[in-house]
Chain A
Amino acid sequence: MFDHGQPSYAEVNKDILSTMLETGPKYWMLLGMTMSVAGICFFMPWIYQLFVGVGAAGMNHNAVWGSYLSNFIFWIGLSHSGTLLSAVLHITNSPWRKSIYRSAEAMTLFSLMTAALFVMVHVGRVWFVHWSFPIPNEMGLWPNFRSPLMFDVMAITTYLTASSIFIYMGSVPDFAAVRDASTGLRRRLYTIFSFGWRGTAREWHTLGWAYTFFAVFVIPLAVSVHSIVSWDFALSAVPGFHHTIFAPYFVCGAIYSGTAGIVTVMYCLRKFLGFERYIGQVHLDSLGKLLITLSLIWSYINILELFTTWFGGTSYELEALSFRLTGFYAPLYWEMLIFCAFVPLLMLFKKIRLSWNKMLLISVLINIGMLTERFIIVATSQPRKFLPGAFGFYVPSWIEISISVGSFAIFVTLFLIFIKWVPAISIYEVKETLKPLRRNV
């Protein structure tokens, strides 16, 4: 489990807390940079769009959905491996989960927040967004719960709430460790955050039970969230969207991109926070094997989608398929296949699976492929609806491209803030993986 020898309990506290309590100038520079990029690339174009209207984006009469929604699906997808993987591995009692789950769960939370921002950007008049919640409003409107978009609102708010509680409750004992290691205002804050935790047998017992129940609730929730996101498309009659395979396709894709995201985040934690001792090759190997499995399932579903459309022989479905495979966006389609179906097969070689640099490259390529996948679904389906008279064309405007770039800066900013407020690795769960101290050993 540990690449550089087993640390003592005190060393675990010291190693992990030092990343929170000691902050160098490089951190502030990086934080300033990501905040600036987020402001310039995301918020400024958004404010511009709020002034001039959503016409500033490249969407048009034939393509009313564009990159904002493909980004929304991408970020929701990226959120999937954190909490879901953490919950599944908790239930199955997998020890390799313990070093990586906290940051993976944070990834879930921040991806969801970024995804929620895209909904606000997409709807245009963001000040009416509360109309989608079942709360009284000035128009006397109530949400239409027969719409998949309303399913989305309920699913994502539930997922955001559950994920926040899941990560917070898992962090309570570690907040107590931060409290004990700090002074002044920080100590007072963490006394509140930790609820006065002492680590009594009753507290551990209750937390264990509650945490298991959170995990049990979160697993079906995570599956439902991306199924529901897929129904935004699949429950419409648009060729290219209307597939029964979409729910498993989206869920599989979400876990796939999320797992690749975890590899990227783990690389950064090792490299920049010095967690080489806690995040080792056993984690990389396990994540690599999981990625190969997910890649094969994802490829199978893609083949299935092509086959059923071809076998069905419906003219408008064939036209949408032909546009996807040979039309303007065909290079993106083939790029997606290379990055998500073929490149991951390299991980069949253990040598590649155990190399951090190669795994980083593969994980980034997978997520580029997955972002492309979501773009292709949106950009090649709506503009090819039924009759040539309804055919259109969609290309993202510079506003959309800038906002997409800015969303990554928002995600990184949130993560950088997170690592200074919450121990990025669970202190007490790492201790659980250590051999217990025995007097007679």
Chain B
Amino acid sequence: MAILGSFAFEEDFLDAARKLKSSGFDKLSLLSPLPLEEAQELMGLEKSPVRHFSLAGAIFGAIAGFAMAVATSLVFILPTGGRAIITIPPFLIITYEMTILFGVLFTLLGFHFVSGLPAWRDRPYLISAGIDRFVVIVEGAAADQVARAEAIIRDAGADEVRHVEEDQ
């Protein structure tokens, strides 16, 4: 069972989330129509692991870029004006571009991995959370905890409370 509480005001929403947290409801989702730093702090979100993906992508891209430039020049040897076949300065430009390309691609991968998206299955959601409402969702609440969670949400000033089966 999931309990959804919808709030018109940011401060009420954060207040409800704080009280739910301190009452032992750990499986919370905080939905908002815009990013809220306080909500992220409340959920214990600090430095995102996405940054590791970015770094790994950049390193991989740098190595792959340089290796590709070297490999193609060795596979198809094209002597130019007596210059070396493996010519470092121009290959560094290819390395630079590939560093950025793979940095971006791995960051995208990191976003999907960390955020858990795409998630096209039905999950507890209120359309108003994308417009002008702040929504607290208590997930996995046992039958005896539902009333307590609902009371906390209502006391904090929710203008709507809903119960949703989680497998929906």
Contacts and interface: CB of A to CB of B under 8 A. Distances in A.
A92 interface: no
A145 B110 CA distance: 30
Interface string B98-115: 101101110110111011
B132 A134 contact: no
Given A9-B132, A196-B117, A145 B73 contact: yes
B115 A144 contact: no
B25 interface: no
A199 B103 contact: no
A144 B86 CA distance: 11
Interface in B38-73: 39-40, 42-43, 45, 47-48, 50-51, 54, 58, 68-69, 72-73
A201 B90 contact: no
A409 B140 CA distance: 55
Interface string A319-340: 0000000000000000000000
A387 interface: no
B17 to A, nearest CB: 9
Contacts of A206: 48, 50, 111, 114-115
A14 to B, nearest CB: 9
Contacts of B125: 198
Interface in A128-146: 134, 140-146
A165 B104 contact: yes
B101 A162 contact: yes
**Chain A contact residues: helix, strand, loop or mixed:** helix
8 contacts: A142-B72, A144-B76, A176-B130, A199-B130, A205-B45, A208-B48, A224-B96, A431-B33
Nearest to A9: B132
Contacts of B115: 202-203, 206-207
A76 to B, nearest CB: 15
B118 A196 contact: yes
A196 B131 CA distance: 16
A205 B10 contact: no
Contacts of B32: 199, 201, 204
Q: Is the interface of B mostly helix, strand, loop or mixed?
A: helix
A209 interface: yes
B24 interface: no
Given A151-B90, A209-B48, A145 B72 contact: yes
Interface stretch (A34-42, A395-403, A433-441): A433-441
A192 interface: yes
Interface stretch (A109-117, A213-221, A351-359, A374-382): A213-221
A191 B117 CA distance: 12
Given A145-B73, A176-B130, A437-B9, A204 B36 contact: yes
A51 interface: no
A244 interface: no
Given A205-B48, A438-B10, A158 B97 contact: yes
Given A145-B91, A199-B130, A204-B36, A140 B31 contact: no
By Cβ-Cβ distance, the 7 closest A-B pairs, closest first, are A9-B132, A209-B48, A195-B118, A204-B35, A142-B76, A142-B72, A210-B111
A8 interface: yes
Nearest to B42: A201
A38 B118 CA distance: 37
B87 interface: yes
Contact of A438 (B9, B30, B104, B112): B9
Given A161-B105, A192-B120, 20 more contacts: A10-B132, A142-B73, A146-B90, A151-B90, A173-B130, A176-B130, A195-B117, A196-B120, A198-B129, A199-B130, A200-B31, A201-B42, A201-B43, A205-B35, A206-B50, A209-B48, A210-B111, A213-B51, A431-B34, A432-B35
A118 B11 CA distance: 54
B33 A134 contact: no
Interface in B108-146: 108, 110-112, 114-121, 123, 125, 127, 129-132
B51 A209 contact: yes
A198 B29 contact: yes
A213 B131 contact: no
Contacts of A386: none
Contacts of B105: 161, 165
B120 A438 contact: no
A198 B111 contact: no
B54 A213 contact: yes
Contact of B50 (A144, A145, A209, A220): A209
B152 interface: no
A182 B151 CA distance: 34
A145 B69 contact: yes
B80 interface: yes
Given A210-B50, A428-B35, A438-B10, A155 B97 contact: yes
A180 interface: yes
A78 B45 CA distance: 38
Interface string A205-240: 111111001100110110010001000000000000
A418 interface: no
A416 interface: no
A439 B34 contact: no
Nearest to A147: B90
Contacts of A146: 73, 80, 83, 87, 90-91
A165 B104 CA distance: 8
Nearest to A173: B130
A158 B127 CA distance: 36
B104 A161 contact: yes
